[in-house]
Structure 1
Amino acid sequence: MSKDPVAKAQTMIRAPVARVFEAFIDPAVTTTFWFSKASGPLKAGETVRWDWDMYGAGDDIHVRAIEADKTIIYDWGGQGNLSRVEMTFSALDDGQTFVEVSNSGFHGDAESVVAQALDSNGGFTTVLCAAKVWLEHGINARLIEDKFPQALSADWKGR
């Protein structure tokens, strides 16, 4: 490969930029559409823990930078294989927001790096769709847990 892959996902959400941005900072909101719990809100320079209880998984999120209503940058990934996530929020006409996510810096051989980028692309696309449904309609469409129902923990399957 001549260039490392970058996973990208984007969508418009019909909600004001401040509300959309806050949905990704405040775990009280984010847990309605993405992960199941967090150790706290995102703050620049801090590390928070995100857990996906439905999968028995979690990750530490190392927040690098936040610019209110514009940008969130963090590193994540286990076993020393951190990748960089950059989320940008652009206010559009009529109180709408365009959200873009890029994830880069994958580790491993070429085949592994491509697989990670493809998985990240699908994951962030699902997250943005889940956020859109929640913020526009107040519905938890259960997109995250329904993405891999075969991997759900036994105690989560009955919900």
Structure 2
Amino acid sequence: MAAVNNNFAKAEMLIRKPVSEVFQAFIDPEITSKFWFTKGSEKLKEGESIVWSWEMYGFSLTVFTKVIETDKRIVIEWGNSGEETLVEWVFSPLDEKETFVSITNSNFKGDADKILSEVRNSTEGFTLVLAGAKAFLEHQIQLNLVLDRFPKGLS
């Protein structure tokens, strides 16, 4: 029997907007900052590194864009040196006004407990990102889900 690699996180959601609009929301930090990070140094470009910041947590991360297929797919690499993971977005238009977005985070490293923790945290995080994107793109509402994931005073 072949071994199955379950060391990945996955979140998916329907967003009722055209694929080009949803795709741009994840490429352009001016839009992405409305539902995920607070600041991006520039738009994602294949083969280039940029910085995303979550100023409410005093945290920044370098992101290397490996693949961009316009309106179809984005693949980035991010994380601490030696612990980088891959994140892949797949954008599937269901019709001219609906897009199904799938986000997979893979390549986790470490012992079983560390991998399980990373998969759980990533699944939770990307689920909030998709819910926030849906609210913003469909209704122009900023839910602050990522901000509220770790409220001050709780550890």
Aligned position for 1:37: 39
What letter corresponds to residue 41 of structure 2 in structure 1? S
What letter corresponds to residue 128 of structure 1 in structure 2? L
1:134 shift after superposition? 0.2
- Structure 2 residue ranges without an equivalent (≥5): none
Aligned position for 1:82: 84
1:93 is matched with which residue: 95, 99, 103?
Answer: 95
Q: CA distance change for structure 1 residues 151 and 129 in 2, over 3 Å: closer, same or farther?
A: farther
1:95 shift after superposition? 1.0
Q: Once the two structures are aligned, what percentage of the paired residues are identical?
A: 45
Question: What SS does the aligned partner of 2:56 have?
Answer: helix
- Structure 1 residue ranges without an equivalent (≥5): 153-159
Check the 8 A contact 2:39/2:54 in 1, yes or no. yes
Residues 16-50 of structure 1, C-alpha deviations (whole Å, 9 max, x = no match): 00000000000010011100001110000000100
Root-mean-square deviation (Å): 1.5
Aligned position for 1:18: 20
Aligned position for 2:71: 69
| In 1, Cα distance between equivalents of 2:47 and 2:144 | 31
What letter corresponds to residue 81 of structure 2 in structure 1? Q
Report the TM-score, using the length of structure 1 for normalisation.
0.91
Aligned residues: 152
Q: CA distance change for structure 1 residues 30 and 151 in 2, over 3 Å: closer, same or farther?
A: farther
1:86 shift after superposition? 0.6
